[in-house]
Structure formats: C-alpha cells, structure tokens
Amino acid sequence: MIHSEPLPGDIGLTQISGRVGRLIRIGQWLNGNGFADYQHAFLVLPDNQLLEAEPGGARVRPLSTYEGADVLYVCPSGLSEQQRADICSASGAYVGVPYSFLDYVAIAAHRIHLPVPGLRRYVSATGHMICSQLVDQCYKDAGVHLFDDGRWSGYVTPLALHRLLAD
C-alpha cells in the first residue's frame, strides 16, 4: 500500500545520489532486482522521526531530513495501529547498529547460488545491517513478516521492498 503522508511504521523508499547510489544500484542489479530508483529504505517513527541505517551506524533523525526528496511511503495493507506501534517499538533495539556494504556482496552471492559455506552465519555474526535489512528486521521483531517466501532478513534490498509493497 502506498501512502502520500507518512505514518509511523511506514517504510520510506528513496534515491541516493552519487557514487554510493550507483554502487547500491549495481549491488541490487547483481541481486536480480535490476536497476531502479530506490537505493535506500528507512522506517517512519512517531513524532516525525525516522530510523535509518547509515555507514556511521543506524540512527534516529527528523523525518524532515527527506523534505523535498522523492520519497515513496509504503506498508503492507491492513497493518493495524498496534502492529505499527510494535514495529516502531522494535526499532529502538537497532539504534547504533553498524552498516556494511559487504552485505550486498553476500546477498549477491546468495542470489547467484555461489556456494559460500557459512555465508548467512557470517552476515548475522557481524551484527551489521543495510537499510532494508534493518527495516525488515523491525517488522519481523514485531511479528509482521513482509516476505512469505521464507527469505531471511539479511537477503532484503530496498528494491525488494519496493517490489513487494508498491508494485
């Protein structure tokens, strides 16, 4: 479901410009998501705040950070107020979680079925998360499973969220 005005528990999808955005596009293409305009995901929190994973670690910022940017706000249809509250509550456990571009490499290796023993365990053990992993994990911690294909949160990209919730 697409929202024009963000609500707590919504997922914001947006673009990242420059070299970092191009690298993420390539990573998503390697994952089989193709090239698209969404390279970043964040979670909308109450009081016009958001949680996002960044290279310096996940942090809470004002929602106005993306004022004027092309942001698509999505969420699963039928999400209850209690589920929204639980998702936002779960997000507090992830403030400060480190970010890792290497997770895109791990996701690509998984996608092309490259036999890398212990890959999932390695990604989990690092404690790092990319933006879309962070959002998916907050939902999962609140008991809302976005993907019904059994995928692990470590294998979620911003474009996978877009395809699931906006297409």
Weakest-pLDDT range from 57-61, 78-82, 115-119, 144-148: 115-119
Pick from 28, 14, 19: which is nearest to 104 by CA?
28
- State the average pLDDT over residues 66-81: 92
Average pLDDT over residues 134-155: 88
CA 85, CA 124: separation in Å to the nearest integer?
A: 26
pLDDT at 121: 76
pLDDT of 61: 97
Q: How confident is the model at residue 64 (pLDDT cuts 50, 70, 90)?
A: very high
Structural domains of the chain, ranges and CATH numbers in brackets: 2-165 (3.90.1720.10)
For the chain, give the percent of residues with pLDDT over 70.
75
Q: In angstroms, rounded to a whole number, what is the distance separating the alpha carbons of residues 126 and 128?
A: 5
Q: Categorize the per-residue pLDDT at 19 as very low, low, confident or very high, splitting at 50, 70 and 90.
A: low
Confidence (pLDDT) at 82:
98
